[in-house]
Structure 1
Amino acid sequence: MNDLKVFENVCRAMADPAFYPHRISNLERRETHISVVFLTGDVVYKLKKPVDFGFLDYSQLKTRQRMCELEVKLNQRLSQGVYLGVVPLSREGDKFKFGDSGEVVEYAVKMKQLPDEASLSSLVAGTTVGPDEMSRLGRRLAEFYAAAERGEQIDSYGGCQVIEFNTEENFRQLAPFVESVLEKERFDFIMESSRGFFKDSGSVFKRRVVEGRICDGHGDLRAEHIYFLDRIQIIDCIEFNERFRYGDCAVDLAFVHMDLERLGRPELSLAILNGYTESSCDYGIYTLLDFYSCYRAVVKIKISCLSATELEEGPRKLEMQSRAVQYLDVAFRYSVQFARPTLYVLCGLPGTGKSTYAKKLHHAFDIDLFRSDEVRKELPEYSSRRGPVPFGTGMYRPEIRGRVYSRLLSIVQDELKKGCSVIVDATFSMRKWREEAVRLAEDLDANIIFLECECSRETILERLGHRREGKDGQSDARPEHLGGFVDEFDIINELPPERHTRINTEGEIEANLRTILSGIYSQKRAQVEQVIARL
């Protein structure tokens, strides 16, 4: 009798409440493409199917035993008192039972049964979880990643070569389903955008390795695997392939991020990221969030398609195929988000902190930063020996300032044409300059976000005073110029919310930065959704 037939007979036996040596309150069977789970009310038994999908090989009994043992060990990292051990299942004659007194034919992971209603996937449907709980989850995950195993071998899984291999493997395995299940145009866009990301952003992966962000993670961090009980319990990490568990913290977090956005609660995901970045200071996670979310959605497409192939024609098969199409739409949106460049404009009066946050974003995103002060100093009329001049004269004459903005937007145009996101640090006090920037972004099919920095007049004067003393900044603006800038500043009221946000820079810098990063992520998402709606 082959392993699959034996496995089916074991499952048939376990479907009988009399099979169990303990009380059964409600016996239920659940199934995925790689496992069968029996829930009994208090205890869960999870068996691994004798299958070989290439990326996963459970075809041998010894392998299934070893993987059960590894599953228990690995999952005890993020849970407590849930994974109870591995139990053998044996056969005597034509009967099956727990224990090893007969011929051992299968192994099962024994777990404490957690209530479905405590899972994050259930909780998001109501109002019982909010930003505070999600921030706590983010901090817990930051602690886990900080303590996770690291090393040269594990680092290799965060490199471009391995991630590209995984990505291409997904595309190869999905090729038979294109057109029959998956829309070819969207699938091709996802595939080509992913390949372009590797070509254009290879340095991002290297930087993550250098920063120590690669570790032995979870690998399957979905909302249905996270439970809020007396403590946060996270289960069902990947044990069958190190290639899918080793990697960037971002690839783990992208899974729950994608899941929560799909469930209609993007604000909860951003709260997780806020808690995570608060503990880890890993602001660079936003450089890979959309790419890895797309990657995770493609994995879900693959799982849905593979599951459908195991089913007979009928409602369940159609459900799996429909789920694959839904995840294709999710992956498509993320691919547009990471493929579409963004122009970040740090604007506002002098002394409001534009340069501070422009530099923070420059470091977090690892993209070019261009400042009007530097462009001004490159003009032939500029001379540092003259010192500050009255507002409206010298380098602050209207025609000179116009040339500065023309040159600045010309530089931006060159970068956006190459598909590169860019940061601009300039006052943008006049509406016409802002409108030119918006027009430029729209013409080049780019997102644009204005981050308007604000603070009290007293704080501005104090900061500009430091410049007079040579303590801060490259700007030539001084306290005596403030009145002129205030008088000429056209209040920003022409921009929609997805293109404009105000920042009170008198708050704590790191807290402000976290708010900025989550805010602009939401704004980019909103702009991309508008683009997709027009397709």
Structure 2
Amino acid sequence: MTTFGSQSDVIAFLSEPSAYGVSDLVKRIDTHAAIIFLAGDRAYKLKRAVRYPYLDFSSAEKRRLVCKAELALNRRTAPDLYLEVCSIGRLDDGSLALGQGSPVDWLIVMRRFAAKDLLDAMAREGRLEPKLLRELADGISRFHELAEIETHHDAVGRVRSVIEGNRVSMAKLPGMPLAACDRARLFTSSLVLLDQLTPLLARRGEAGLVRHCHGDLHLGNICMWQGKPVLFDCLEFDAGLATSDLLYDLAFLLMDLWQRGLRDEASLVFNRYCDRRAETDGLAAMPLFLSMRAAVRAHVEARGSDLQPDVKGRKDKLVTARRYLASAVGFLDRPEPRLLAVGGLSGSGKSTLAARLAPRIGTAPGVRLLRTDMLRKRLAGVDPEAHLPESAYTRETHDAVYAALLEEARKTLDAGWPVIVDAVFDFPATRAQVEALARAVAVPFSGLWLDAPRDLLHARVGTRRGDASDAGPAVVDKQLERDVGFLGDWQCVDARGDAQQTLEHAIAALGSECPIG
């Protein structure tokens, strides 16, 4: 880091309540590139006069331009939070004032929200509920759909430049706090994987999947505002860095959740997003993207240690940085493709079981979970939780949904990613089809059949709310009228208990044929 000029008088001015016309004390938050002052119902963000290998805020004019960019870019996702760019001016008497006098520096002015409403805080307190995470994944999908497509792209070159930028940033850290052997292993392995992914990344760029994204999409840059998760504080200082493959943008959030041990949450966001965008072949790049994101956090955390006021704070930051570096290396391990089918009548708990198995099989962020209920809604052009009429459940639509399930599973397996398919599978023909798919793509197959009594099936479907399944007691009765036939090698799982008991029964049934993490 190189510092350019003193901002001490500006910082002292912004630290006083009188600067904003408020009486309460001003709260200050320091980051490696900015200082945020919280005063009244507003937040004021000052760019530090610094230059790093990846950003340059060295002059007031550069800070003005980047503030304007930050305002415009963040209004894509958080128009109610981002209010204006405000000057800090020098008056004739030498004092400073907001919005008056000769400008000496610049601020972003935002509406203030409670610290408890940051998803970072909610994650620490165990408050990331499934409904919120589904809304978050849906919001990211909508944002990506509308994001500006990069027409003059070099999809592979962009990834290579990030890898190189991470290498340079780590090498320039004062005192070399990150082990050279770990860094060498990371960057050598990253470049080998990049070479393998080059054709895929180039195709995705040509398909319009390289866009001007958020660029810094972790839990600390998402807040609850008016009851909805809102993305804010996007990467504003370099459009090139923020322009990436859509999955690289998503990977920061998935990495953040996984790194915190929130694997069920990471799996939910991952699968909901992929359901929304019908993502298949791009999953082959996910290990590299997760690794790159962890590498970014490693050098940012290490650099942030210099801002800590005491030895313990600096030590904690460096421990975190080294943990991110270890994860960056670990994320490069690619999963083994395999196919697991979870079947059973409506209300047997197959979707709950599949969702709980998903983050426990393979590597981060877990297996791709494909569910007929979700595919049916996508094919009908409605939201996953929208109710479809009985007329939408014909034999023709049944066959179309199962065909789509098998095709999406095939594409995902071809990308080298493991898959769970969640469907009723009450016809021998549909079970035979999914088994044949595994043989065709030469991956291991396991089948689970969940069994529960009629009264319990009725009770479960009768209390279901906000779910993609439309099945009620009448559907259960119709399913019970059919003979599901010989289950062959499919393992029967006792599903009479709660979700944890069913998970334990399923893991026991799978045994060593499908390792569970």
Instruction: With the length of structure 1 as denominator, give the TM-score of the two structures.
Output: 0.66
1:210 aligns with one of 206, 209, 229:
206
Q: How far, CA to CA, are the matches of 1:500 and 1:202 in structure 2?
A: 40
Aligned to 2:301: 304
Q: How far, CA to CA, are the matches of 2:189 and 2:201 in structure 1?
A: 16
Aligned to 2:13: 13
Question: Unmatched 5+ residue regions in structure 2?
Answer: 344-398, 418-435, 452-484, 494-503
Alignment of 1:53-68 (within 5 A): 53-68=52-67
What per-residue deviation string (whole Å, max 9, x for no partner) do you get for residues 389-427 of structure 1?
A: xxxxxxxxxxxxxxxxxxx9xxxxxxxxxxxxxx94269
1:315 aligns with one of 309, 312, 316:
312
CA spacing shift, 1:499–1:193, aligned 2, 3 Å: farther
CA spacing shift, 1:232–1:354, aligned 2, 3 Å: closer
Structure with max Cα Rg: 1
Q: How far, CA to CA, are the matches of 1:496 and 1:299 in structure 2?
A: 40
CA spacing shift, 1:489–1:118, aligned 2, 3 Å: closer
Alignment of 1:122-271 (within 5 A): 122-153=121-152, 155-156=153-154, 159-176=155-172, 180-230=176-226, 231-271=228-268
What per-residue deviation string (whole Å, max 9, x for no partner) do you get for residues 153-201 of structure 1?
A: 2x33xx1122112201211221255994223443333222211111212
2:291 aligns with one of 287, 291, 294:
294
Equivalent residue letter for 1:452: G
Q: Per-residue deviation at 1:320?
A: 2.3
Aligned to 1:396: none
Q: Is the 8 A contact 1:345 1:426 kept in 2?
A: no
Aligned to 1:430: none
Aligned to 1:117: 116
1:279 aligns with one of 269, 276, 279:
276
Q: Is the 8 A contact 2:280 2:408 kept in 1?
A: no
Q: How far, CA to CA, are the matches of 1:290 and 1:253 in structure 2?
A: 12
CA spacing shift, 1:489–1:354, aligned 2, 3 Å: farther
Quick check: 1:39 aligned with 2:38?
yes
Q: Per-residue deviation at 1:497?
A: 6.4
Q: Is the 8 A contact 1:301 1:323 kept in 2?
A: yes
Quick check: 1:344 aligned with 2:338?
yes
Aligned to 1:413: none
Provide the secondary structure at the position in 2 that maps to 1:52: strand
What per-residue deviation string (whole Å, max 9, x for no partner) do you get for residues 58-80 of structure 1?
A: 11211111111110111011113
2:439 aligns with one of 425, 429, 449:
425
Q: Is the 8 A contact 1:346 1:452 kept in 2?
A: yes
Equivalent residue letter for 1:344: R
Aligned to 2:465: none
Q: How far, CA to CA, are the matches of 2:32 and 2:15 in structure 1?
A: 18
Aligned to 1:452: 447
Equivalent residue letter for 2:159: I
Aligned to 2:80: 81
Q: Per-residue deviation at 1:322?
A: 1.7
Q: Is the 8 A contact 1:34 1:51 kept in 2?
A: yes
Aligned to 2:395: none
Quick check: 1:363 aligned with 2:358?
no
Aligned to 2:98: 98
CA spacing shift, 1:203–1:314, aligned 2, 3 Å: same
Aligned to 2:365: none
Question: Unmatched 5+ residue regions in structure 1?
Answer: 370-407, 409-422, 428-436, 438-447, 457-484, 503-522, 528-535
Aligned to 1:48: 47
Provide the secondary structure at the position in 2 that maps to 1:240: coil
Q: Is the 8 A contact 2:251 2:289 kept in 1?
A: yes
CA spacing shift, 1:79–1:198, aligned 2, 3 Å: same
Q: Per-residue deviation at 1:282?
A: 2.0
Q: How far, CA to CA, are the matches of 1:499 and 1:60 in structure 2?
A: 63
Provide the secondary structure at the position in 1 that maps to 2:50: coil
Q: How far, CA to CA, are the matches of 1:500 and 1:63 in structure 2?
A: 62
What per-residue deviation string (whole Å, max 9, x for no partner) do you get for residues 97-148 of structure 1?
A: 21232x2110000000111111111112335432221111111111111111
CA spacing shift, 1:163–1:236, aligned 2, 3 Å: same
Q: How far, CA to CA, are the matches of 1:116 and 1:78 in structure 2?
A: 19
Q: Is the 8 A contact 1:47 1:108 kept in 2?
A: yes
Q: Is the 8 A contact 1:347 1:354 kept in 2?
A: no
Q: Is the 8 A contact 1:286 1:365 kept in 2?
A: no
Provide the secondary structure at the position in 2 that maps to 1:65: helix
Q: Is the 8 A contact 2:150 2:212 kept in 1?
A: no
Equivalent residue letter for 1:132: K
What per-residue deviation string (whole Å, max 9, x for no partner) do you get for residues 475-523 of structure 1?
A: xxxxxxxxxx959748599x99679879xxxxxxxxxxxxxxxxxxxx8
Q: How far, CA to CA, are the matches of 2:508 and 2:487 in structure 1?
A: 24
Equivalent residue letter for 1:263: R
Q: Per-residue deviation at 1:275?
A: 2.6
Q: How far, CA to CA, are the matches of 1:365 and 1:85 in structure 2?
A: 48
CA spacing shift, 1:500–1:131, aligned 2, 3 Å: farther
Q: How many equivalent pairs are there?
A: 396
Q: How far, CA to CA, are the matches of 2:42 and 2:3 in structure 1?
A: 25
CA spacing shift, 1:500–1:164, aligned 2, 3 Å: farther
Higher helix share goes to which structure? 1
Provide the secondary structure at the position in 2 that maps to 1:288: helix
Provide the secondary structure at the position in 1 that maps to 2:55: coil
Quote the sequence identity (%): 20
Q: Per-residue deviation at 1:212?
A: 2.3
CA RMSD of aligned residues (A): 3.7
Q: Is the 8 A contact 2:341 2:446 kept in 1?
A: yes
What per-residue deviation string (whole Å, max 9, x for no partner) do you get for residues 1-28 of structure 1?
A: x99444121001211222223x243411
Q: Is the 8 A contact 2:438 2:445 kept in 1?
A: no
Q: Per-residue deviation at 1:307?
A: 2.7
Q: Per-residue deviation at 1:31?
A: 1.1
Q: Is the 8 A contact 1:342 1:449 kept in 2?
A: no
